[in-house]
Structure 1
């Protein structure tokens, strides 16, 4: 099936159902080939889906912050994020860390990454990243926290596009292989416009700094994955996404701490 015939709503719905547990109505795919074509065509909508997830987390943080201290509100926002996504990216982070540091050969590392069980490395990665997320979010002023959540979830989904364009797949099956072809010009256009409009609208020039930090994070993850397993997998993409979001929030916190001129003057 040609990707050009995949309708925009089907692309968005595929991205939303792939990245989240949200019940987005969509026309059922006729077969596996059509589903793969939709998934491949949907990557341009990943940033918008990320913004929706970020908005859910931001709304939770604001509402909880009316009743609870910042640390508790941040923890609840993290819980909502995990529920909305089905802990999709945390799972990718755990599997990636287990595989890349738990095996002695490329084949063994890929085998470990396929294993649904979580090991010591993966457990530490999820626990420490969750602690970092909650403490960073709790340290941000409410207005910056909400905007930061939306923008960091937005740009962290954007980094998938250059990874797909520049890094080969580590294997020829699985979710990573389903979207492994370089994104089309249409996907780049949709993703870039979403990042520019939403990012600049919420954080001004800070969004560019956050985007650069997220891209550098993804580049680092890609370099390690390419050296250890020969390329990216779905788990590696998820790990890069989660780490890019965390680094982006840390950048927002650093900009606030340094008193950088921001979206509020």
Structure 2
């Protein structure tokens, strides 16, 4: 009798978590031994905030070490850089492509064409520079204890934004290929519950630091993400994968600015 030496097949929940880690980060995870379901990315969206917590913890660890070695300014920049590295600059790429598309296209077809172009344009370059600068400078304004709590809360909440945008807008990209994996299937109620619970738990340390800072962060972040989503609806007719990345980044910027507006200099 032969013995199957393959590792046990992961449960659906673990499989979806691994899909989320594999999609959002460059962290090594076990290879999947199953064929991807058409809605695999929609199912993985529920675990995006959990992955965001992990990204926030990594960034917070770098901030803590960097602060002891270099001081708050350079430590904040290193923390932002750590999040960029661990995600493979995935969301930053979406931000740059979105701004190049919005700024350089004069029709929906042209904007979508620009969005697919791998070259970086003026609008995208400026957006990337301001993105990193604003996040690092806002983080550097915070007391260390508040900055650590904010990083975890911010990265968790920011990874929930793609699900909200996907829920409100229709898909505007290519009708073939990737569309089927996340554009057609809605998230279930239990998946939304997991998203909201994760975001709430990740925000608890910041809530204990300052409820007003948490409210400001969520408000500023939601406002900037909604702004990008409204532009996408007007200029593209809906969202694309790059737009989802851009809304995540704009939420991060707004969240950090909102917290800094309340706690800077505390």
Is 1:122 aligned to 2:129, yes or no? no
- Does the 8 Å contact 1:21/1:85 carry over to 2? yes
1:214-233 superposed matches below 5 A = 214-233=221-240
- Does the 8 Å contact 1:217/1:247 carry over to 2? yes
Aligned to 2:199: 195
- Structure with max Cα Rg: 2
Is 1:10 aligned to 2:15, yes or no? yes
Deviation at 1:177, TM superposition (A): 5.5
| CA RMSD between the two structures | 1.9
4+ residue segments displaced more than 6 Å: none
Once residues 234 and 244 of structure 2 are traced to their aligned partners in structure 1, the CA distance between those partners, rounded to angstroms, is: 15
Per-residue Cα deviation, 1:167-205 (whole angstroms, up to 9, x for no partner)? 101122465653223311121011011011221244343
Normalising by structure 1, what TM-score?
Answer: 0.89
Once residues 216 and 140 of structure 2 are traced to their aligned partners in structure 1, the CA distance between those partners, rounded to angstroms, is: 21
Aligned to 2:34: 29
Is 1:182 aligned to 2:186, yes or no? yes
Once residues 208 and 17 of structure 1 are traced to their aligned partners in structure 2, the CA distance between those partners, rounded to angstroms, is: 31
Once residues 110 and 168 of structure 2 are traced to their aligned partners in structure 1, the CA distance between those partners, rounded to angstroms, is: 24
Per-residue Cα deviation, 1:222-256 (whole angstroms, up to 9, x for no partner)? 11001001100000000000110111011111111
Once residues 174 and 212 of structure 1 are traced to their aligned partners in structure 2, the CA distance between those partners, rounded to angstroms, is: 35
Once residues 75 and 257 of structure 2 are traced to their aligned partners in structure 1, the CA distance between those partners, rounded to angstroms, is: 18
- Does the 8 Å contact 1:160/1:241 carry over to 2? yes
Deviation at 1:208, TM superposition (A): 4.2
1:129-208 superposed matches below 5 A = 129-171=131-173, 172-173=175-176, 175=178, 178-180=181-183, 181-204=185-208, 205=211, 206-208=213-215
Aligned to 1:56: 58
- Does the 8 Å contact 1:169/1:233 carry over to 2? yes
Normalising by structure 2, what TM-score?
Answer: 0.89
Counterparts in 2 of 1:218 and 1:182: CA distance versus 1, 3 Å: farther
Once residues 93 and 176 of structure 1 are traced to their aligned partners in structure 2, the CA distance between those partners, rounded to angstroms, is: 19
Once residues 206 and 180 of structure 2 are traced to their aligned partners in structure 1, the CA distance between those partners, rounded to angstroms, is: 34
Once residues 198 and 45 of structure 1 are traced to their aligned partners in structure 2, the CA distance between those partners, rounded to angstroms, is: 13
Counterparts in 2 of 1:256 and 1:128: CA distance versus 1, 3 Å: same
How many residues of Structure 1 are paired with residues of Structure 2 in the alignment?
A: 252
